[in-house]
């Protein structure tokens, strides 16, 4: 009997076909990698499959489990003996936790698709400019997927070629974080030169040049390369392609998505075609029936009292982002904290139109302010911070409030927490800025953290299944 393939992707590649629009994905029957990559349509269909993989639970479908639950912003719903999400909240992870397994396998499944597109593109007959763009999009997606993997797990196997022979997978151990970031930067730099500034019609939602630049700026910021981050983020700002919408509430209306503030979203489309998003139902209160949203809710990703208290009086973002109660079918007020940012009416349970915002212009402005501050330009950072506050209906910060680098750091941290709440940033922000341990230790009793937090808690456990498959190459993170 042959051993199970290391990344569980050799036998699970799903090629997809494009119909009337970018998101209309459907399987191709009886297709194989040996016969499929021949025409431009084949390559585009495969690329759509790579985009589609972002919707999976282990990528953005349940991104909140690794990006928000471990922070001080949200807590999980507890269901009897099922503690899979609680292990992230209180830091007592099992190496067999299913959210770890799906994070790894879905991430590498998407990377496999990108690798196949890049490697097979040379043999495909199509317009060369279009082929260049397709490869650029695949490199952007691969960079994004590796960025998420390396932030969650630390050292990870770095695979940048299509693996045909399952046995070849056993040759890959965990590559150092620095090597993974070097590849991410290379992919995004390549993508910059290949992608369009914007797209129309069925291509809206694809990765653009601005998306590559914005993600590259975030990568540099994560590596504390502040000069490079500031320069790249300034390119996004100076291009004039993006802007803040006048109303914060408008940013999250499904009816107007892919707007001027949106730089890159994971795309969803409702209509009982298997492409809808489940955030609206997943985050609505448990046992609420249809009082909050049709088909009820799962109670996931509940805002903490600590986050709710962090909103300043009069902040217009609060009621858009969360609620602390609802009125049930009997007309009785029920106290319950829940996320409201994703609220499109579903066609069926878990089938809404809400996109997941990966990169938006407000994020770029705040990252740029952070990069400026860290390069000694605190005064220059202030106007970018205040653009966010002004839209939120808050008074601008002054030099008296945020005139030193230390004060500005805390002001940016606060603004990012509120502006980007429930968009998958808080945990990674705390880790990036070196604040995670201080912030969470101060709140350990309130959160119920079950361990003495150390640096080892800043990355999560490698799935035990991956170690069992290839124990000579894949080793566990310290502390697990």
Q: Angle 299-358-308 (CA atoms, 0-180°, nearest 5)?
A: 45
Instruction: Identify whether the C-beta of residue 296 lies closer than 8 Å to the C-beta of residue 290.
Output: yes
Q: Angle 174-99-344 (CA atoms, 0-180°, nearest 5)?
A: 125
Mean pLDDT of 380-399: 98
Q: What is the pLDDT of residue 21?
A: 35
Helix/strand/coil for 289:
coil
Instruction: Identify whether the C-beta of residue 232 lies closer than 8 Å to the C-beta of residue 213.
Output: yes
User: Does 26 score more than 60 pLDDT?
Assistant: no
Instruction: Give residue 80's pLDDT band: very low, low, confident or very high (50, 70, 90).
Output: confident
Q: What is the pLDDT of residue 34?
A: 60
Q: What is the DSSP letter of 286?
A: T
User: Does 54 score more than 70 pLDDT?
Assistant: yes
Instruction: Give residue 27's pLDDT band: very low, low, confident or very high (50, 70, 90).
Output: very low
Q: Locate 370 and state its tokens.
A: 């952070």
Instruction: Give residue 81's pLDDT band: very low, low, confident or very high (50, 70, 90).
Output: confident
Q: What is the pLDDT of residue 32?
A: 56
Helix/strand/coil for 430:
helix
Q: What is the pLDDT of residue 82?
A: 87
User: Domain 1-194 falls in which CATH fold?
Assistant: 1.25.40
- Residue 454: exposure state from Cβ atoms within 10 A (0-12, 13-18, ≥19): exposed
Q: What is the pLDDT of residue 25?
A: 28
Distances 406 to 250, 370, 376, 402, 410 between C-alpha atoms, Å: 33, 11, 11, 8, 7
Distances 97 to 93, 196, 209, 276, 422 between C-alpha atoms, Å: 7, 40, 37, 26, 22
Measured CA to CA, the distance from residue 34 to residue 74 in angstroms comes to 46
Q: What is the pLDDT of residue 285?
A: 98
Instruction: Give residue 166's pLDDT band: very low, low, confident or very high (50, 70, 90).
Output: confident
Interacting residues of 265 by C-beta distance below 8 A, sequence separation 6+: 205, 257, 258, 355, 356, 357, 358
The model carries a pTM of: 0.93
Every domain of the chain with CATH number 1.25.40.390 lies at: 1-194
pLDDT digits (tens, 9 = 90+) for 418-431: 999 999 999 999 99
User: Does 5 score more than 60 pLDDT?
Assistant: no
Mean pLDDT of 273-296: 97
Measured CA to CA, the distance from residue 113 to residue 453 in angstroms comes to 37
Whose tokens are 């397994």? That residue is 101
Instruction: Give residue 263's pLDDT band: very low, low, confident or very high (50, 70, 90).
Output: very high
Q: What is the pLDDT of residue 410?
A: 98
């Amino acid at each position: 009997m042959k051993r199970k393939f290391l990344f569980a992707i050799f036998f699970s590649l799903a090629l997809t076909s494009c119909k009337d629009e970018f998101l209309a994905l459907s399987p191709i029957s009886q297709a194989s990698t040996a016969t499929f990559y021949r025409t431009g349509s084949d390559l585009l269909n495969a690329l759509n499959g790579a985009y589609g993989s972002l919707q999976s639970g282990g990528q953005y479908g349940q991104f909140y489990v690794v990006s928000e639950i471990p922070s001080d912003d949200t807590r999980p719903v507890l269901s009897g003996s099922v503690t899979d999400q609680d292990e992230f909240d209180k830091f007592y992870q099992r190496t067999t936790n299913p959210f770890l397994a799906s994070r790894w396998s879905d991430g590498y499944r998407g990377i496999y698709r990108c690798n196949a597109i890049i490697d097979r593109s040379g043999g495909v007959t199509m317009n060369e400019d279009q082929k260049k763009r397709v490869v650029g999009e695949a490199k952007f997606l691969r960079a994004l997927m590796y960025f998420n993997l390396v932030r969650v797990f630390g050292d990870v196997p770095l695979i940048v070629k299509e693996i045909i022979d399952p046995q070849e997978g056993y040759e890959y151990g965990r590559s150092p974080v620095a090597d993974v970031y070097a590849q991410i930067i290379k992919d995004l730099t390549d993508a910059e030169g290949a992608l369009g500034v914007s797209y129309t019609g069925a291509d809206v939602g694809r990765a653009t040049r601005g998306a590559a630049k914005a993600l590259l700026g975030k990568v540099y910021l994560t590596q504390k390369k502040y000069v490079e981050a500031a320069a790249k983020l300034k390119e996004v700002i100076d291009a004039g392609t993006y802007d803040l919408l006048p109303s914060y509430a408008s940013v999250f209306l499904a009816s107007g998505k892919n707007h001027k503030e949106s730089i890159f979203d994971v795309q969803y489309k409702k209509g009982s075609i298997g492409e809808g998003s489940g955030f609206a139902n997943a985050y609505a209160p448990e046992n609420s029936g249809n009082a909050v949203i049709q088909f009820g809710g799962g109670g996931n990703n509940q805002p903490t009292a600590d986050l709710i208290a962090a909103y300043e009086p009069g902040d217009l973002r609060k009621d858009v982002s969360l609620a602390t109660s609802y009125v049930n079918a009997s007309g009785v007020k029920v106290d319950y904290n829940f996320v409201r940012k994703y609220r499109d009416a579903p066609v069926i349970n878990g089938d809404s139109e809400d996109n997941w915002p990966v990169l938006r212009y407000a994020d770029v402005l705040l990252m740029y302010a952070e990069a400026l501050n860290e390069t000694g330009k605190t005064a220059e950072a202030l106007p970018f911070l205040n653009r966010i506050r002004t839209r939120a209906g808050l008074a601008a910060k002054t030099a008296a409030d945020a005139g030193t680098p230390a004060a500005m750091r805390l002001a940016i941290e606060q603004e990012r927490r509120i502006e980007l709440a429930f968009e998958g940033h808080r945990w990674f922000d705390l880790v990036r800025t070196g604040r995670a341990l201080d912030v969470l230790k101060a709140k350990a009793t309130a959160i119920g953290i079950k361990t003495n937090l150390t640096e080892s808690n800043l990355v999560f456990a490698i799935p035990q299944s991956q170690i069992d498959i290839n124990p000579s190459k894949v080793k566990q993170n310290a502390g697990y």
